[in-house]
Amino acid sequence: MKDLKKASTQRLLGAGLTERLGCERDAETPSVQANRRNGTSRKTLKGEDGSFANEVPRDRDGSFEPGLIAKGCRI
């Protein structure tokens, strides 16, 4: 169950950033758009099944704040 939670949260976080930026991960970003993907940062999530590390995507200007995983939240 822990692997399913990890995979689904990573997929949802990636989709959230895709929605915000308006283009897919490997797609060419429009030249008029300054904000782009800028790697990931690691976050440890705790839940009933134990804790697991998750990769949270970042954008260049640091404006992406995922609503799915708030600070100090438990899944």
Mean pLDDT of successive 10-residue segments in the chain (75 residues)? 88 88 74 80 85 89 80 63
Establish if 28 belongs to a structural domain. Answer: no
Residues 6+ apart with CB under 8 A from 54: 6, 9, 10, 13, 42, 43, 44, 45, 69
For residue 60, the Cα-to-chain-centroid distance in whole angstroms is: 13
Number of domains in the chain: 1
Establish if 31 belongs to a structural domain. Answer: no
Residues 6+ apart with CB under 8 A from 12: 68
Q: What is the pLDDT of residue 35?
A: 84
Q: What is the pLDDT of residue 47?
A: 79
Q: What is the pLDDT of residue 18?
A: 86
Residue ranges making up the domain that contains 14: 1-23+36-75
Token pair, residue 37, equals 């993907």
Establish if 30 belongs to a structural domain. Answer: no
Q: What is the pLDDT of residue 75?
A: 62
CA distance 20 to 73: 22
Establish if 47 belongs to a structural domain. Answer: yes
Establish if 63 belongs to a structural domain. Answer: yes
Q: What is the pLDDT of residue 62?
A: 83
Establish if 17 belongs to a structural domain. Answer: yes
